[in-house]
Structure formats: structure tokens, C-alpha cells
Structure 1
């Protein structure tokens, strides 16, 4: 069994009740010296003491030992790398010590930094002439993204439910559509019909549960028909589980809860189409060859890319990826993050990042090493994905899918093989947005940074009008 070290949590619990170490010791039936050792992580928590904590202080034992320090440490490390902090950044030993001994102070510091970043974003929008209400603040996507990230984009209960469902569906992968139709009919009395476009009123899938009917638009290809039926299967086979997970998200608005439910059902659908053990083994065997995996499972490039971000099961962990889907205007239309890094939250609008160049080379995978202003380096692959074509008036509706990971994982990825991994000069220096990017010598700079003053020398012209 792993040692359970909860020193900072135990200290905060004691202080919140106004108890001394001696008073806590009496409550738990142990010595004051033992409480002191526990708080300094010099002793691990026994089951007996864990149960005593529940009885004496009414704490949820599972919540007390919840593993969240790894993500916090990564957030703290990324934060102190920001160029707004001058001098050398604290090393890992110092950061771990801060988490161990002053967790509340760390929490406040991270919250302050998040507020700072939010202010910069607001200033950027105002400077760009966008005086409208901040849509991001009132839409649920941010809360849903944070909920998925807090779970490392991995939900074991949904994985288990999907495995059970796939076994019940039966049949080979090439007959999955027929098998899904039969399973929905036999187990849930739901009929499936492919309907002409003119009858669907701009709708791709309509589930009428009271009538026991699913209508799929004829514009959906076989791959997306399978996905939509697997999504419906989530709604009818594990409704209670979806309710529990949505409640756990802490999202309060009805719109946000429904949106979260949709994303969780999508997770289940992907797990049905690409069972965990099978896709993990194939991903490792092929060095994450997305096209090869897509062919094997009969799914799309985008579906595989999204599924790869969920492979975070203990003992069978895939490369921790982030996922972005971007339109031609640079808007991020979908994002997921299995990493402790913030590129997925911030990226998408830097012209140096080749996600934009992928539109010029449809269906070609474009790899790139990138570096953020905080010196964090990532390896990304980008490729176009196509939306369903409804008519001749809806041509060329392409998006770009980007999958990325921290540089330390690149030796597991075949797309990085052509690169000289020891050559750091081939790394593209990107930022989040010109208004908040501190890079002084970027040839693509389109606006002055709002929080850094660039020196001006009338006698010198740099590579842009903002650089002397």
C-alpha cells in the first residue's frame, strides 16, 4: 500500500477547529508527538487514525487524501516561470516545500495570478475594441473544461460503463452500426432511422426518448453515425452515472449542466468505439500513429485525437496530451487537456504556431516544436478535419485539430522521429496573444504588449514597427 501523507491538510483541519496539537491528539486517541510527526509528513496516516478523523471532525476520508498536489505543483511551477517575475525561478524543492508548509498561501498566490491573467485578457479585449460582455465568463465551457482537467480528462466510472456496454453490444467493429441499432432496439426499445436532410431541419441527430426513436441525418458518414448512436446509448444506459458526475462538477446553471452532460456522454461514446485497453496498446505499439489507429477502429482522425487525451488510467497511462480544435479565424471551438500545463487554455491565436498553416495543406499532418514565453516546450501535431457537407453552399468548412504534449514525452511519438531531438534551435517561439505576449523580437508581432514597455529608438528599425 502507498503511504498516505496528509500533513498540510491535517494542519489546516486542526487550525480550522481552533485546536492545538494536544487537543487534536485527545480527539484521535494518539499522542501529541504523533500528531506533530503527521503534520510534518514524517509519519503516514494509518487506517485507524483516518477513521478517527472522520468520527472526530466529520471529514470525508476520501477527500482528505485526494491526490491534487501534482496538478498544484505543476500550476505553481508554470506560474513562477512567467516573465513578469524577474530573477531566477524557485526550484522544485522550494515549490514542494511551499505546498507542504503553506498550502493556503500557495492557493492564494495561484488565485492572485489567475486574477492577473483575467485582467490582462479583459484589457486585451477592450483594446481590440470588443466592448461586448465577456462571453467566456457567462458561458459554461470554461467551467466544463476545468472540471475535465481536474480529473485529468479521465473518468474510470465511464470507462467501466463503456466496457460493459461494448460487451453487451457484441459483434465485430465493421458491423458496429447494425450492432448498435439492434442493441438499442432489444435492450431499450429504441428504433433508429436514417432520415433525409430536408426532414431534419438542420439537425444531425434527434433523440425522441418518449417515442423511442433516434433520427440520424443522411449527411452523417458511417463513422459519425456510430458515434451518435453510442452517445444515445450513454443517455439511456448510464443516466444515473451522468447525473452523479454532473453534480460533482459544481456547475450551477442548467445550461452548463446540460452542456457538461453532453460532453460526458461524448466521452462514453468514444470509450465504446475505442475501448481503453485496445487503444492504449495500439497507441503504444504504433507510436501514436493517429491515422493507423483510426483505420483500425473505424473512427475519424479527430475522434482518435480526442480519445488519446483520456488515456490516463493508473498503471496504463498514455502520453498526456492536450487537444485543440481551431477554425480559420483562430477561434478555438473545442479544447481538452490531460496535462498540468496551460497551453491548451491560452493557445490558438499566435501566427507563429503552425496550426494556422495546416489550412494550406489539407489532410497533411504538420508536426512542430513550440516554446511558450515561460520556457515550457511542447511537441504538437496539427491536421485539418472536415465538417459534414450538406450542400454545394457548404463547401470548405474545415477546422484544424491539434494534439500536443510536453517535450519530455516526444520519444514515444513517431511523428517526432524525423527531428533532431537534441537540436533546440528548431523550436518555434510562440505566445498566447500579441497583447499579452512579452516577446520583444517576434517578427509576427501585430500589437504592443499591454503589460511590457518596448523600448523605442528612432535611429533603429527592427523586424516590426514595434521593435527598435
Structure 2
């Protein structure tokens, strides 16, 4: 091997023992000498796996035996099965820990991850991108020259002609507590009049995906590793949502518009006749090889700070349970509805991100439901900020970084003035003779 690669035998030994990195030149010689196709050995999700692994070992459980970065990389390269098993075990530990904390309120603990967490992990492993769904979406329309104001009518016709399914718009009182309902016996889709036109269209494409792409969805679910019924149902919904977004916002066209507008999501939403939230969500899926967009994370919260939806194509570690860090401006965006709130943030590991937030409105159908408002945050690594129009008014060299954490449970920032409770990672007792910014200040 040393002779074939033009290097010394001792250097080969160092490479085999992970004591040297393989240079590009040596890698190219390997491909040529052994007829290896580089795509067969490329570890596309290695960055996300390493990020998740680094986040996990910040738990105080590993304070005394925390491995360093080279050890983590070696584990991913040489023992990926062990890493996967370790991550599975840790997630089970997290679930049990949280259930035990709430045992008096919720009954017996469970050892399986929540459906939302399981689905998030599936999307994370796939880098928020599903090639098969993209291909199915690209083959959806008989012609690419579809007028957007005709899509709703064409969807109704397609459902009727291809699937024998009719669509009926219902009054709010005739469809209480629901925005869409499929009556399988009568083969009829009921849509609430509370839905605006973009969301009516989205719901129809979603139903077409569930009905026409059943085999494809089943295949993706089967290889997801989810076996619990609630997780399977949740994953089916999210995959159908992905398909609907890909149909309404074709990959190449969406990416070109995003780049041209510097990711102006109000403009993009108008161009594709979708909602602001749908446009943001679609941007997280632009991970096609050779045509990648900016890698975003997507976070949605309610007015109580609870995380209600999350997707992640970055190294940013999103909170799984409870609320996001209160220092994130996504919480304050409720004060300025429908306006972009930009922010530069720094995580405890010194990684930096540009984040922008905005409120989004939910369907309103009664006087008491007028404030069904949520907030979404989109973020990317700070080096991509020049590609984002919302960052144009900032000087990158002088941007003020807000120090944040994942959440209070594992945040090491002891003197944070927004700390809600003592973190398990902080073991030093508070000073009884001193009152800091908060009662947890040490």
C-alpha cells in the first residue's frame, strides 16, 4: 500500500491508527489505486453526528471522563455502531430522567423517545433532505409551466380524476376543532373556511402525498428505525408535509429565488404563494449534493416559550424539552408582530450563529381565537450571514454576540441574568452571604 500510494510504510501505520489525517493527495491516490468511488465512502452526516455527540458529552455525567475532539472523531470513524448505540442509550436516559422529574404529575415513566424527538432524529440523520421525495415532487406536474393561481383547481381535479376523492369547503361550525378532515368512507376531503388560500392548497397537496405516495412513504418509514405507532404516524405526517412543500416550492426554482433575494422569506412566500413559515421550513431542506443552500436550523415556539417544532441542518443544538434559551430574541418577537428580529449569538462552545425571528399567525375562526400567534426562528453559522439580507445592516467585525445556551438544564453560564433554575451541570453551591443577579448566581 505504501508503494502504491507513494508514502512510507510508517506513515501508513500512522494513518491506520488514526494518528494522522488523510490528505487530499493521498485520498485521490487511494481512489485511483484501488478503484474506489468516493461517494461510496463519503460520510455526509458526519458533521451532524459529531455535533450531536459533542453536545451529549457536555452532560455532567461525563465531567470526569469527557473525551476530547480527536477521540470523538476516532469513535465515529472506527466504531460508528457503538456511537449509535451510545446515543440511543443516552436519549433513553434523558427521557427517563425527564419523566421521573414529572412522575407525580404524569404517572409511570416511559423509556421510548417522544414521537417528535424520534422524527427530529430521522430528519437530522438525513440532513433534512429526502432525495426520493424531491424526485417524486419534480415528477408531480405534467408541465412545469403551471400558473400558481390555477394550482388549487388543478389539485381538486387531480384528486377527483386520479383518486376518486372530492373536496368540500366547510363552515367552521360544521368542522369544529379541525382544519382538515379526510372521510375515507365517502372519499371526501373537508377543508375549513378558516384556512386561507395558501394553506388550503398546501393541505390538498399534503393529502395527495398521503394517498398517491403511500408506497414511498411506507418505504421511508420502514428504514427510519421508528417502530412505535405514535412515532410512525407523526413521521408520516412530516414526510407528507415535506412532499407538499417540495411540490409547491420546486427545489431548483426555490434555491435560485432564495439566492437572488438573499433569503428574503416574505418575498419568497409571496412568489410561491405559501406562508412565511412554509418558506422558512423549505429552506432547511436545501441540502442536495452539488446544489446546497445555506444550512439553517428552524425553531418554532409558542407564547409560553415551549418548542413546538424544530428542524436542523446545522451544528446548532436545539432544545428538545421545555423552552429554548430565554436570551434568544425569538421570545421578544411577540412584542413586534410580523417584523424580523435579527440577532448574533454565541454558544458555550464558542460557535457563533446569525439568527432572525418573526411571529407567524395561525388560522382564526372566532373572536376568542384572534391571538393564535407563534414565533419562528431561523439560524445559520455566522460565516453565512453575508448571504442573508436580514444581516446587511450589521458590520460583521463589530456585531455584538449574545451569549446563549441550549437551555438552563445544561447551560454552564452560572451568572446569566435569565437563569430559570440551577443547572445540573453547575455543582458549586450558592453563596448564602451574597445575592447575585439571580438566586442561582454563584
For the superposition of Structure 1 and Structure 2, which TM-score range results when normalised by the shorter chain?
Answer: 0.7 to 0.9
Change (3 A) 1:212 1:406: same
Moved more, 329-338 or 161-170: 161-170
Structure 2 counterpart of 1:465: 439
Deviations 1:10-47, CA, capped at 9 Å, x for gaps: xxxxxxxxxxxxxxxxxxxxxxxxx9999678774799
Are 1:229 and 2:204 an aligned pair?
Answer: yes
- Assess if the C-alpha contact under 8 Å between 2:258 and 2:268 holds in 1: yes
> For 1:169-248, what aligned pairs fall within 5 Å after superposition?
171-248=146-223
Q: CA deviation at 1:324?
A: 1.3
User: Which has the larger share of helix?
Assistant: 1
Rounded Cα–Cα distance in structure 2 between residues aligned with 1:37 and 1:459: 56
Are 1:255 and 2:230 an aligned pair?
Answer: yes
Are 1:304 and 2:279 an aligned pair?
Answer: yes
Rounded Cα–Cα distance in structure 2 between residues aligned with 1:150 and 1:233: 26
Q: CA deviation at 1:452?
A: 1.1
Are 1:408 and 2:383 an aligned pair?
Answer: yes
Q: CA deviation at 1:466?
A: 2.5
Are 1:154 and 2:124 an aligned pair?
Answer: no
Structure 1 counterpart of 2:296: 321
- Assess if the C-alpha contact under 8 Å between 1:323 and 1:344 holds in 2: no
- Assess if the C-alpha contact under 8 Å between 2:92 and 2:113 holds in 1: no
Q: CA deviation at 1:246?
A: 1.0
Structure 2 counterpart of 1:427: 401
Structure 1 counterpart of 2:7: none
Are 1:382 and 2:382 an aligned pair?
Answer: no
The TM-score with structure 1 as length reference comes to 0.79
Are 1:443 and 2:420 an aligned pair?
Answer: no
Are 1:284 and 2:259 an aligned pair?
Answer: yes
- Assess if the C-alpha contact under 8 Å between 2:155 and 2:204 holds in 1: yes
How many residues get paired? 421
Q: In structure 2, the residue corresponding to 1:283 is in which secondary structure?
A: helix
Are 1:417 and 2:364 an aligned pair?
Answer: no
Are 1:70 and 2:29 an aligned pair?
Answer: no
The TM-score with structure 2 as length reference comes to 0.83
Q: CA deviation at 1:174?
A: 2.1
> For 1:111-130, what aligned pairs fall within 5 Å after superposition?
121=98, 125=101
Rounded Cα–Cα distance in structure 1 between residues aligned with 2:163 and 2:87: 48
User: 5+ unaligned residues in a row in structure 2: which ranges?
Assistant: 1-11
Change (3 A) 1:268 1:436: same
Rounded Cα–Cα distance in structure 1 between residues aligned with 2:394 and 2:66: 30
Rounded Cα–Cα distance in structure 1 between residues aligned with 2:78 and 2:131: 32
Match of 1:141 among 106, 112, 116: 116
Deviations 1:406-457, CA, capped at 9 Å, x for gaps: 2222121111122221236x21112233333221211122322223134544
Q: CA deviation at 1:291?
A: 0.4
Q: CA RMSD in A?
A: 3.5
Moved more, 364-373 or 448-457: 448-457
